[in-house]
Amino acid sequence: MAEANRQIVLDRLPAGDKLAREHFKLIETPAPSPGEGEVLLRTRYISLDAANRAWMQGATYRSALEGGQVMAGGALAEVVESNVGHLAPGDMIFADTGWQDYAVLPGQRLAKLPAARLAEGEPVTHLMSVYGIAGLTAYFGLLECGQPKAGETVVVSAAAGSVGSIVGQIARIKGCRVVGIAGGAEKGRWLVDELGFDAAVDYKSPEFKRLLRAEVPDGVDVYFDNTGGAVFEAVLFAMKNFGRIACCGALSQYDGAPPPHGPRGIPGLIVTKRLTLRGFVVMDFDDQREKALADLQGWVASGQLKVQEDIVEGLENTPAALIGLLAGDNRGKRMVKVR
Ligand SMILES: NC(=O)c1ccc[n+]([C@@H]2O[C@H](COP(=O)([O-])OP(=O)(O)OC[C@H]3O[C@@H](n4cnc5c(N)ncnc54)[C@H](OP(=O)(O)O)[C@@H]3O)[C@@H](O)[C@H]2O)c1
């Protein structure tokens, strides 16, 4: 394999700063060759996730990133050479390839993505958005942790993002009234007009708390929290007695200096309102994946669930695409088409 391997290295950790282009550098190395039991992969679409930034802050459900390593991240990748029996050139997989053209990984834990999951004409990228981590996180977080019932009010933050846009639509499918929280009036209009949310509230407005209360006059039954921080606090005060909060992520705290204090109302409101807060990681529900994927496929096929993808071109643009995601540039699932 004579071709060069472009790699984006996390040159140094941002520490308490906002993530910037200078934290990354692009280098070229010779493309690697697979050894015994290994597979050579060519990355096609790199997944951009808010979690990429969280991994720079310390250990989470995976070990912390360090300066000098190829930036970690998942990707839809194609098998180029295989030294394992269950994978062959041309197979598509999802793997932690990092931000680079080629990766060599042990083949043992890699599984071919089932093309049969895609309906006629459905793009392969759906395997990474609606049938990937974003779709499954939305599905399990809402239905298992939130336990919504028809007629209830569901609120979701980062509602125009990859997880949030699916959460709101599933809640509508389940017969709930859905209020999305997102930055700016334009995103709010898109949530209501295109995705069928009942209402949207701009958390960047100085009137945010009042606007939120106006949209949930009887209170909130289920809150799907992607952000933590001030948005979490505002919804906490609007929760109904016996409400459920699915704690999915803490976007407000990934990029930049840590907040000066935590949300008010903890634990007092959790006690007096008898709330249930449940944190989860999507992998907790691996044993229910097939049922979830069948439901998601059915909703996409029937047109009840719209898949919004935000595709940036070019490996070299991956750092800017992540910085932009953290600043709210994306609608739906952001990814980078490598070439
Ligand atoms: N628990 C799990 O297993 C699991 C799995 C996957 C993802 N997650 C979590 O899911 C959440 C969504 O991640 P994603 O990768 O899908 O990202 P995303 O929602 O596609 O993109 C991030 C969005 O967050 C919004 N945002 C940024 N800073 C914010 C702030 N300070 N307050 C409120 N909103 C802010 C931005 O939109 P605006 O324009 O609206 O600001 C941005 O578009 C993250 O918390 C992530 O960690 C959890």
Query: Using one digit for the tens of pLDDT, what is the confidence trace for 6-61?
Result: 999 999 999 889 999 999 999 999 999 999 999 999 999 999 999 999 999 887 88
Residues 6 or more apart whose Cβ sits within 8 Å of residue 159: 165, 167, 168, 180, 181, 182, 187, 191, 197, 200
Most ligand 1 atoms within 8 A of CB, residue of 226, 232, 331 to mutate: 226
pLDDT at 264 over 90: yes
20 neighbors 326 (Cβ within 8 angstroms): no
- 181 Cβ below 6 A of ligand 1: no
Can you tell me the mean pLDDT for 296-321?
A: 98
pLDDT at 180 over 70: yes
pLDDT at 258 over 90: no
pLDDT grade, residue 2 (50/70/90)? low
Structure tokens at 165: 């846009």
180 neighbors 168 (Cβ within 8 angstroms): yes
With 0-12 / 13-18 / 19 or more C-beta atoms within 10 angstroms meaning exposed / middle / buried, residue 183 is middle
132-147 burial, b for 16+ CB within 10 Å, e for fewer?
A: bbbbbbbbbbbbebbe
Can you tell me the mean pLDDT for 281-309?
A: 97
Is-cis flag, bond preceding 114, omega within 30? no
Can you tell me the mean pLDDT for 316-323?
A: 98
Q: Give the CATH number of domain 133-283.
A: 3.40.50.720
Residue 134 Cα to ligand 1 middle (Å)? 10
List, for residues 95-147, the tens digit of each pLDDT value. Answer: 999 999 999 999 999 999 987 788 889 999 999 999 999 999 999 999 999 99
Q: Where does the chain hold its CATH 3.90.180.10 domain(s)?
A: 4-129+307-337
pLDDT at 1 over 70: no
pLDDT at 196 over 70: yes
Residue 282 φ/ψ region, left for φ over 0, alpha for ψ in the -120 to 50 degree band, beta for the rest: alpha
CATH 2.60.120.260 fits 4-129+307-337, yes or no: no
Q: Where does the chain hold its CATH 3.40.50.720 domain(s)?
A: 133-283
- 163 Cβ below 6 A of ligand 1: yes
